[in-house]
Structure 1
Amino acid sequence: MSDQRKSLKVPGFPSSLSFGGYTDLTDLTGKDFVAAKASSIFRYAGTDGTGDLYTHVSSDESTKRTVQLAADVEAKVGKSVLPILVAYTTNLSLGDPNIPVKTAKEKGGREVPAAYILNPEFLGTCQQQNLSPDFAMPVREALRGALEYRAVKGDIPEDITNTLKGYVSAVNWVVRLVAHDVTFGWQANIWGSKTEADLREIAKQTVDYIKSLGVYTGAYAPDFLAIDRYEADDLTIRGYGNGYCYSPSEWERFYDFCSNLNSGLDVPVMPWQIPASRLPYKTEAVSYLEEEKW
């Protein structure tokens, strides 16, 4: 790594510490986001929230409503509120990013209209299964078909090959092609490594794997990396029972993991899916676990 570190400033995000929350779009007034003075609003893109496999989504209402909600909250709090869409692209169609981009520009008037977190669990699962960068998979033909269906013109770069690494490059390239003014990043999981080694070693293995796929290299590199802690509250069976970076005394371990990925990849990181409906004190004894989230 060179002595010159990259800037931690990510387009669309404030330069100070900020936070956001998830919306289920049942309350479109945004009063809770206004009261909290949130800087971002999260929502899963598409119809089913998992990539809409075997479906060509012609209009992404979930994304459009989230963009509109962010614009409405922004007008009330008097500061930028960034809509962040979580998108799965395993069918390489990416829905139609031009829809939220256009809507965000019209409604919010911001330079960066939206942000995307791409493919939760994808990198972690590939790492767990020890899939090499050369793992064969159909990429170029599927990408060509997606571009034709969306009437998007572009010459597919030669370095996009029919491999796992080629797939990652294809996703990065097509995002920059069709939605060049959004900011985006992939997502990593703390459970990607199967080892029970020291957390620094787990982080190193995760960094090495992400580097091997070329996720953050090249002309189409993403802007940030989201790191998933897991959405379950600390004092639930679903959360605490996992055993990694949970319980009242384990928060520092998760943020150490984030720090190691930041320094290892030299990429800004976003701690993501931090459950906040029940935050235990560090000294709080664990006497029982809830069945459901708070």
Structure 2
Amino acid sequence: MQPEPAASPHDRSNVSLAERAYRIRRHALRMGEVQGQGYIAQALGIADVLAVSYFHAMTYRPNDPEWEGRDRFLLSIGHYAIALYAALIEAGIVPEDELETYGGDDSRLPMSGMAAYTPGMEITGGSLGHGLGLAVGFALGLKRKNSKAFVYNLFSDGELDEGSTWEAAMSAGSYGLDNLIGIVDVNGMQADGPSTGVLNFEPLAPKFEAFNWFVQRVDGNDLDAVVKAFDAARSYEGRKPRIVICDTRMGKGVPFLEERERNHFLRVEADEWTKALDVLEQGYRSTEGRA
């Protein structure tokens, strides 16, 4: 495995969101290399959204992940755990050297996210479609405590197939949960094939609007667009839950993985991990030079 750069990213206040997203992708690839497979394409695709969440939008304390005043980030999509671990490592909540234990016995980083194991993991997102319902409960509880914290809930376009998601969406709108920010990763692929081919959920934005949500839809791999959407979600003054629909590209940053036809669960050949890390770095450096 390639060594991580020596500098500790969470000790530097001047790190750009682009570098945070690059490093989240790199952490995810390095964990994927440990097992030789995994939900890598989703992690690469959602990295920009996670960078904005953890390094622009959210309030938290890396050395105190259970601080009562924190914003809560709920990962409904349990199999995206590798993506969230990468963000938690970059944020300094999980030590970087633990990525070498990913998916192993007694690891705090199991392949599917479990709240009891991992610092910063708020819920166990196993059975899909439950995350938004849990987020409604979190948001109601925080309101009863008069907390100013927000609840962020990341769920997938595949979870739009679940009736429980829409029951939660209806209840959040009915309760006027203005401390709830939903994030949908619309990457167009789920286990059984293209998402809208399995069950067509489009047009998506009008559905949430009908349930009394403040709705935005953006390119989830455009950092500036995601920043603006998250800022608008937090500052919106209406008594409504907020949702940011993020269209992302699976495998983003590693073109030969982006082009894989079946990329819901990737098996990557041993020699391809080094290639993926090199291509990711080259792409980031070339983009950084044009910034």
Using the size of structure 1 for normalisation, the TM-score is: 0.32
Using the size of structure 2 for normalisation, the TM-score is: 0.33
Structure with max Cα Rg: 1
